[in-house]
Amino acid sequence: MKIAIVPGDGIGREVMPAALAVLDAFGLDIEKIPLEIGYGKWKRTGSAITDEDMSIIKECDCVLFGAITTPPDPNYKSVLMRLRKELDLYANIRPFVPLANVKLPCNKKVFDFVIVRENTEGMYSGIEELHEDVAYTTRVITRKGSQRIAERACILAKGGKKHITIVHKANVLKSDSFFRDVCTGVAKRNGISFNEMLVDAMAYDLILRPEKYDVIVTTNLFGDILSDVAAALAGGLGLCPSANVGDRHALFEPIHGSAPDIAGKGIANPIASILSVRMMLQWMGREKDAQVLGRAVDSVIAKGIVTPDLGGSYSTMDVSEALSKIMSEYLDQVH
Ligand code: ATP
């Protein structure tokens, strides 16, 4: 198995070593291909990602990704958008389940839902025009894009409550009534029950009644925003992983960004990255290893070995080292 390792910028460079130390504890036969990609590289070389980087990534089985800074510079093109498009990683899968022993901001403690975000089109189509007095971004919703993301949502729902919630703004946007109609057709064909929610009502209800939801399927920008709402519910951005998957490639990354406000301090919470490794293990079919990793995460949190975002005083690498140690003990018991 060949994995491209992209730490990226900011805290991406701090959480990646923490995640790799945990991956190494499994002793798997993995070839790691480190790649420098991101804003730092752009500042140094004028290019954030080269065609050669893309070819190397395409030869790998998957990518483990830290985080990349996207500056508000019209000359800078988003690296993640390029990766998602060129690798055709059309489904961004973001599970939200409260971790044991994490203090949550709301009194809602029991929920287990997944946001399935379309990842290659919508508001992130890349079709934009910037003029002196006006700017345009074209929102693209295709039948193919909507069908395949709805199919993904149905596959996930089949393993759970067999229900999907289709989130849109179809009362205002024609592109969203199209998205809604395609998704409902796919749900009916798959025998999956569904309901629809307007995105604004969804943001509100997610905070009040998160336990109601199972699989939420939505377009690119809405999925991006709702994920941050969900991350707050689940205890913070430092805890939430994601998988970007297509039919041939996959990329695993925390849902947080490069967090310039805390970068360089060694205090970033590595758990989102470590749980992204867990999603990668599941994608590889290593369910038992994924379970061991999940138990180890619960155990370090229970012991209070946590970073400042969770009220602790431990560093990124303290958490990773404690976790690797616990995991090695579990693995010794398993083998
Ligand atoms: P970017 O521009 O790269 O998206 P950002 O700061 O706008 O960065 P995030 O990186 O997602 O967006 O960070 C949002 C907030 O959450 C910041 O205050 C950040 O410090 C905090 N945060 C994000 N990830 C973590 C983490 N792993 N550990 C602790 N705090 C985090």
* Same-domain status, 165 and 219: yes
Residue 228 a catalytic site member: yes
Last residue in a domain, options 180, 210, 234: 234
Domain count, the chain: 2
pLDDT of residue 74: 79
* Same-domain status, 321 and 302: yes
* Same-domain status, 149 and 195: yes
**Residues 6+ away with beta carbon under 8 Å from 212:** 205
Closest among 97, 27, 20, 24 to 65, alpha carbons compared: 20
* Assigned domain for 330 exists: yes
Look at ligand 1, atom 5, and give the residue with the nearest C-alpha. 259
CB 263 within 8 A of CB 8: no
* Assigned domain for 292 exists: yes
Strands 31-34 and 62-67: unpaired
Check if 276 has its Cβ closer than 6 Å to any atom of ligand 1: no
Average pLDDT over residues 77-99: 94
Check if 259 has its Cβ closer than 6 Å to any atom of ligand 1: yes
pLDDT band at 180; cut points 50, 70, 90: very high
Q: Which of 76, 79, 256 to mutate to test the pocket of ligand 1 (most atoms within 8 A of CB)?
A: 256
Using the mean position of ligand 1's atoms as its centre, give its distance from the Cα of residue 82 in Å: 21
Both tokens of residue 27? 């002793």
Q: What is the CATH number of the domain that holds 150?
A: 3.40.718.10
Check if 237 has its Cβ closer than 6 Å to any atom of ligand 1: yes
- The total of other beta-carbon atoms located within 10 Å of residue 88's CB is 14
* Same-domain status, 108 and 25: no
CB 93 within 8 A of CB 118: no
* Same-domain status, 121 and 225: yes
* Assigned domain for 311 exists: yes
* Same-domain status, 7 and 116: no
Using the mean position of ligand 1's atoms as its centre, give its distance from the Cα of residue 248 in Å: 30
Q: Which domain holds residue 123?
A: 104-234
Last residue in a domain, options 234, 257, 287: 234
Cite the beta strand spans of the chain per DSSP E: 2-8, 31-34, 62-67, 91-96, 113-118, 128-130, 135-137, 163-168, 193-198, 215-218, 241-245, 250-254
Last residue in a domain, options 234, 260, 275: 234
- pLDDT of 216 above 90: yes
Q: Which of 144, 200, 288, 303 is catalytic?
A: 200
Distance CA 54, CA 123 (A): 23
Look at ligand 1, atom 26, and give the residue with the nearest C-alpha. 238
Q: Using CB atoms within 10 A of its CB, is residue 149 exposed (0-12), middle (13-18) or buried (19+)?
A: buried
Using the mean position of ligand 1's atoms as its centre, give its distance from the Cα of residue 272 in Å: 11
Check if 228 has its Cβ closer than 6 Å to any atom of ligand 1: no
Residue 169 a catalytic site member: yes
Ligand 1: which atom is nearest the Cα of residue 11? Answer: 27
Average pLDDT over residues 263-273: 98
CA atoms within 13 A on the CB side of 212: 13
- The total of other beta-carbon atoms located within 10 Å of residue 151's CB is 17
Q: Which of 61, 205, 228, 309 is catalytic?
A: 228
* Assigned domain for 11 exists: yes
Ligand 1: which atom is nearest the Cα of residue 259? Answer: 10
* Same-domain status, 183 and 300: no
Mean pLDDT, the chain, rounded, equals 95
* Same-domain status, 229 and 249: no
* Assigned domain for 281 exists: yes
* Assigned domain for 97 exists: no
* Assigned domain for 26 exists: yes
pLDDT of residue 328: 87
- pLDDT of 90 above 70: yes
* Same-domain status, 27 and 109: no
* Same-domain status, 62 and 118: no
Residue 73 a catalytic site member: no
pLDDT band at 335; cut points 50, 70, 90: low
Check if 258 has its Cβ closer than 6 Å to any atom of ligand 1: yes
* Same-domain status, 20 and 58: yes
Residue 124 a catalytic site member: yes
Q: How much of the chain exceeds pLDDT 70, in percent?
A: 99
